[in-house]
Amino acid sequence: MVIGLVFLLCLATVPLAGGRIGALAELRFRARGILAASILAQILIISILPQGSATLHDAVHIGSYVAVAAFVVANRRIPWVWLVAVGGALNFAAIAANGGIMPATPRALQAAGMVVDPAEFTNSGAVAHPHLQFLGDVFWLPSSWPVSNVFSVGDVLIVLGALLAMHYVCASRLALRRFAVPVV
C-alpha cells in the first residue's frame, strides 16, 4: 500500500514540473498480462490466502518476481525501466537467498509497528539467519505516521526509476535524458 501511495505522489510531481500526464496513456507496455498475474499472485498469497503451505507461498512469491522480470525485459526500451529492474533484482536476490521471504531487521519491524503472525505467510519478516540482510527491509516509516511500513534499497530504486520514467515520458522540466535508456 505504501509503495502505491508513493507512486501517486510521484505522479503528482509531473504536472508541478510542467509535464503532461496524458503522455503516460500513450505509453504501450508489452506483456501486461504477465505483470497483472504477478501482482494478483502476490495479493493472493499476502492478503487473501496468507495461511497454508509455506513452501507453496514461498514458491509463488519467488515466481512472481521471475514473472515481473520477464515483463521488465519485454519493456526494456522504456526510459528508466532499467533502474526499476535493478531495484527488483536486488529485492529478488534478498528474497531468493532467504527462501522466499524478504528479510527485515527486527529494529525496522518494531519501529514500523509491524507484528508478524508466524501462522501466516509474510512477504517481509524477521529471518533467523538472514542472507543479504543489507538488501532486505532495513528502512522504515515509523508507526506514528498514518502509513507505516518497512522497505529496502531495492524498493527505493524501483520508486526512483518510476519517478524518473514518469518525468521523462511526460516531458517535464525534471526529465533526465542521460542514462534513461541503456545502450544495447
Asked whether residue 179 is assigned to any structural domain, the reply reads no
Asked whether residue 184 is assigned to any structural domain, the reply reads no
Asked whether residue 182 is assigned to any structural domain, the reply reads no
Is residue 184 pLDDT above 60, yes or no? Answer: no
pLDDT band with cut points at 50, 70 and 90 for residue 67: very high
Is residue 37 pLDDT above 90, yes or no? Answer: yes
Asked whether residue 177 is assigned to any structural domain, the reply reads no
* Strand 149-151, strand 139-141: pairing: antiparallel
Asked whether residue 181 is assigned to any structural domain, the reply reads no
pLDDT band with cut points at 50, 70 and 90 for residue 121: confident
Is residue 183 pLDDT above 70, yes or no? Answer: no
Q: If you compute the radius of gyration of the chain from its CA atoms, what whole number of angstroms results?
A: 17
pLDDT band with cut points at 50, 70 and 90 for residue 98: very high
**Spatial distance between the Cα atoms of 88 and 73, rounded to a whole number of angstroms:** 12
**Spatial distance between the Cα atoms of 128 and 98, rounded to a whole number of angstroms:** 10
Q: What is the pTM of this model?
A: 0.89
**Spatial distance between the Cα atoms of 3 and 6, rounded to a whole number of angstroms:** 5
What pLDDT score does 1 carry? 63
Nearest to 34 by CA among 83, 76, 70, 79: 70
Please report, for residues 36, 42, 149, 178, the alpha-carbon distance to residue 39 in angstroms, rounded to integers and kept in the order given.
5, 5, 19, 30
Asked whether residue 53 is assigned to any structural domain, the reply reads yes
Is residue 79 pLDDT above 60, yes or no? Answer: yes
**Spatial distance between the Cα atoms of 17 and 182, rounded to a whole number of angstroms:** 24
Asked whether residue 178 is assigned to any structural domain, the reply reads no
The total number of structural domains in the chain stands at: 1
Contact (Cβ atoms closer than 8 angstroms) between residue 112 and residue 151: no
